[in-house]
Amino acid sequence: MRPHLWDPWATARTAPDRTAVVADDESCTFAELTTRADALARALRARGVADGTVLSTDLPTGPRFFALALAALRYGYGLFPIAPQLLALPEGPSLLAEAGGALHITAAAPGPGRPALPCPVLGDDELLAAAATTPAGPGPAAPPAAGHLVLATSGTTGVPQAVVRTRPARPYKGVAVTERYGAGPELGPHLMANPTYHLGTLGPALYALQAGSPVVVQRTWSTAGFVELADRYRADSAFLSPDRLTELVAAGHAPRHRFRVVFHGGGACPPAVKRAAIDLFGPVLHEYYGTSRSVLTEITTPEWLDRPGSVGRPLPGIRIEVTRDGRVLPPGEAGEIGIRLRAADRDPGEPPVHATGDVGMLDADGYLFVIGRAGTPEELSAARLEHGVRLLPGVTDAAVLGGPEPLCFVEHGERGTFPDPVPAIEDSARHLGLPVPRIVLTPSGSLPRTPSGKIRRADLAGLAGTAPDPGRG
């Protein structure tokens, strides 16, 4: 497949009855999806919503959500998707203010129990009703600048924060369709098994839809349900967060219809889990690393097998630097990961190097290895310990909390099938000059997680008092 530019309106012209989005009992064709997107944008203009305005939404992931997302991208609006459970928190309304949201679009009309928001609230059906009575008109004199997404951090260490991405200067023209992403007008659906609003989960689905592939949303997770949807719709690509990838590996569940690409990212994936996933799905895993600002690196299965644990090399136009105390480090040395974004992705006046908050190292060929979160020298040592724990046999995830009484939470597979990891963890801590942590062993999937699948570290300290001690049970 030669790379080519494509968008959903092109699919609507060439295959108007092709299914675009399926979520439970909701579905729409590409013609219906793009017609709805056009109508939403027309209604926003009729209400006087200015070019570049940031809209927020808690619409559930499905046809109505993707219509609004496409309307924003094509017609020059910002879109801040926020999960209803996050919006209901005391911090939810302040997130909208951080994002600069000027209008909130929802499925349900405001009523008792809904939080007071710092902006007007409107139902998307109300917008469509207005569009029905609004003449199409000639459109703007010049194409609007591209729309953009505003996203929130996952909140692993505390309260999520809004991350406003730079609005692209060029008008929306679609996406470059490339073979390695397993999407296109002639290919099968993308299965969205993590229907959340984080860039890692939304990005692959939105790309597939723009490239011409349908999107199937699995709103209620189960390994059996994932396999059933993949086989029923003959999905060619899917996204899985590391925790859900782990569950599929543990269950041994894989669809009969083989994926072309299985994306994963958004959190560390222990090499043992990834090797088992490659055995289960074939050499089709495609891992990426990034922040709420941008995807930064990618790595294919053959590359990863040559460099287990790597998250890949930077995408074109992105540079990665590993530094310590302001000094760029040579390959093999661990330090803070900084990125030089493309000029088009930087805000005016923004420093050329953006700190990711992560620590890691580059090898001699420029492949990145992420160790953990940046911080003090002690926190760096704790991150190195956590990275080492994930490499132990049987470990499916880990989290180390530093401090005078450090804690090491270790998720594991079925006990008795691997050596006791406790002695190795204790030896590693001593080697790194850390106090020997209290080690809490727990089955895979038992630690609290964010909707994107990351361990919610802010909740771990409170679990230590109820966990078995010393964690060998």
Q: How far apart are the C-alpha atoms of 205 and 241, rounded to whole Å?
A: 13
What's the pLDDT at 201?
86
Q: Tokens in use for 5? A: 């530019």
| Closest C-alpha among 198, 194, 148, 195 to residue 171 | 148
Q: Span 12-34, mean pLDDT?
A: 98
Helix 271-281 / helix 242-251 crossing angle, nearest 10 deg: 60
Q: Span 426-437, mean pLDDT?
A: 89
Confidence bin at 468 (pLDDT 50/70/90): very low
Higher-pLDDT residue of 208, 386: 208
> What is the sign, positive or negative, of the torsion defined by CA atoms of 344, 345, 348, 353?
negative
Q: Looking at the predicted structure, is the pLDDT value of residue 109 above 80?
A: no
Q: Looking at the predicted structure, is the pLDDT value of residue 436 above 50?
A: yes
Percent of residues, the chain, with pLDDT higher than 70: 89
Q: Is 290 left (phi over 0), alpha (psi -120 to 50) or beta?
A: beta
Q: Span 126-153, mean pLDDT?
A: 74
Q: Looking at the predicted structure, is the pLDDT value of residue 181 above 90?
A: yes
Count of Cβ atoms closer than 10 Å to residue 278 Cβ: 17
| Closest C-alpha among 180, 220, 196, 178 to residue 205 | 196
Confidence bin at 432 (pLDDT 50/70/90): confident
The C-alpha angle with vertex 176 and arms to 208 and 197, in degrees rounded to 5, equals 40
Q: Which residue has the tokens 């959340």?
A: 196
Q: Tens digit of pLDDT for each residue in 275-321?
A: 999 999 999 999 999 876 778 999 999 999 999 999 999 998 899 99
What's the pLDDT at 455?
82
Q: Span 422-449, mean pLDDT?
A: 89
Sheet holding 215-217, edge to edge: 26-29, 19-23, 215-217, 190-192, 237-240, 261-264, 285-290, 295-299, 313-314
What's the pLDDT at 164?
75
Q: Span 227-237, mean pLDDT?
A: 98
Q: Tens digit of pLDDT for each residue in 323-356?
A: 988 899 999 998 899 988 776 666 666 777 888 8
- Computed over every residue of the chain, the mean pLDDT equals 86
What's the pLDDT at 37?
95
Higher-pLDDT residue of 163, 87: 87
Confidence bin at 33 (pLDDT 50/70/90): very high
Q: How far apart are the C-alpha atoms of 114 and 183, rounded to whole Å?
A: 38
Confidence bin at 446 (pLDDT 50/70/90): confident
What's the pLDDT at 471?
39
Q: Which domains does the chain have, with CATH numbers?
A: 4-322 (3.40.50.12780), 384-466 (3.30.300.30)
Q: Looking at the predicted structure, is the pLDDT value of residue 473 above 50?
A: no
Confidence bin at 114 (pLDDT 50/70/90): low
Q: Looking at the predicted structure, is the pLDDT value of residue 84 above 70?
A: yes
DSSP structure string for 157-195: SSS--EEEPPPPSSPP--EEE-GGGT-STTS--EEESS-
What's the pLDDT at 157?
56
Higher-pLDDT residue of 208, 269: 208
Percent of residues, the chain, with pLDDT higher than 90: 48
What's the pLDDT at 133?
74
Q: Span 404-426, mean pLDDT?
A: 85
Q: In this structure, are residues 201 and 192 in contact, taking their beta carbons and an 8 Å threshold? A: yes
Q: Tokens in use for 397? A: 């995830």
Q: Looking at the predicted structure, is the pLDDT value of residue 5 above 80?
A: yes
Q: Span 143-147, mean pLDDT?
A: 80
What is the pTM assigned to this prediction? Answer: 0.84
What's the pLDDT at 2?
67
Confidence bin at 448 (pLDDT 50/70/90): confident
